[in-house]
Amino acid sequence: MKRERTAIIRLDSTLSLPIRTKTPQNTQTPRILVEEIGGLIRVYKDGHVERPQIVPFVTCTLPLELGVTCKDLVIDTFTNIWARFYVPKSNEKLPLLVYFHGGGFCVGSAAWSCYHEFLALLARKAGCLIMSVNYRLAPENPLPAAYEDGEKALMWVKQQALSGNPNKLWWLKNCDFSNVFLAGDSAGGNIAHNTTLRLCANWGKLKPLIIKGNILIQPFFGGESRTNSEAYMVQPPGSALNLVASDTYWRLSLPKGVNRDHPWCNSGANMSRKLERMTYLPTMVCVSELDILKDRNMEFCGVLRNSGIQVEHVVYKGVGHAFQILDKSQLSQMRTQEMIYHIKAFVNKRNSS
């Protein structure tokens, strides 16, 4: 297998991030396509992966009037994990949201324009400092790589909190490390959940960080048996997620030899770890009414509730999967404002508890 070359593309004045480039195809031996999600990812039999740039990558630039400082920082040079920080102007310490983007574990980036716009707005309106983690992607890095990166990101934050490095005061001085939340949408919501499962037996190792809760937006779960919303929810053309794409993402991201009833995928089947009231986090789940994941999300809320976990959910009417980042309609923008309001209320409630 040919190695991919790495090009260094400068994203801002403080950091150069590695972006993988395509290896020229050998015209004498055409590659055999084995998996494809239209416009997003193509996987070939020899292991080569192509990700067309369907969403623009953007730098840290934000309008001055937004009042949010944005910079990229490397978390781990060996695995090329980095994060984009959003710090709204404030004279007070702010809660920290450690955020994981969506994309079925296989596509997406903290530098995607849609995430950049949404998280900058969320930081300002919810009054939170946001760390958007750019984790490793499948199929090159199948699960649990993304979960490992989630844990590594939190351990990195812990080290920053302990170091108090004056060169990083631009974000450290604004961060309330006793008020930290894990958050994410779609696959990112799944990562936040499974990162919690990896850590909840020993939250003490993250001190001085105190993790207050999970904010899961349309979390990506599945299973071998179809739910009603998976089987019967009619998706419009160009929908962010349909059943064929969902199955493909799981084939590409789960370890070889397991199916969609693996606990990383199916939160209600063969639970590998018992959820305990005193260790798993209070959780907010944001559900979209027209999302094929609607029933999965509601089942997940039931699993938490039956385990004695504090959980609240909100169903956003008339919108589908990932509406808050991909749909610019007036209805979606209104629902996005509602979501930001609900996230702010959840954070404030946990902060006062």
Kindly report the average pLDDT of the chain as a whole number. 90
Work out the pLDDT band at 2, boundaries 50, 70, 90: very low
Note the pLDDT of residue 28.
63
219 to 17, 100, 168, 170, 250: CA distances (angstroms): 28, 11, 32, 32, 14
pLDDT at site 212: 97
CB atoms closer than 10 angstroms to residue 46: 12
Structure confidence at residue 9 (pLDDT): 34
- pLDDT confidence bin for 184, thresholds 50/70/90: very high
| Percentage of the residues of the chain whose pLDDT score is greater than 70 | 89
Give tens-digit pLDDT for 259-309: 999 999 998 865 545 677 668 999 999 999 999 999 999 999 999 998 889
Q: What is the pLDDT of residue 25?
A: 53
User: Is the model's pLDDT at 352 over the cut of 60?
Assistant: yes
- The answer to whether residue 224 scores a pLDDT higher than 90 is yes
**pLDDT tens-digit readout, 245-263:** 999 999 999 999 999 999 9
Q: Model confidence over 9-36: pLDDT tens digits?
A: 333 333 434 444 444 555 568 899 999 9
Tell me the per-residue pLDDT of 99-158, one tens digit each, with 9 for 90 and over.
999 999 999 999 999 999 999 999 999 999 999 999 999 999 999 999 999 999 999 999
- Stretch 42-61: mean pLDDT, rounded? 96
pLDDT in tens, 55-87: 999 999 999 999 999 999 999 999 999 999 999
Residue 38: per-residue pLDDT: 87
Give the pLDDT confidence score for residue 167 in this predicted structure. 74
Report which of residues 89 and 24 the model is more confident about: 89
CA 186 to chain centre: 7
Q: What residues act catalytically?
A: 186, 291, 321
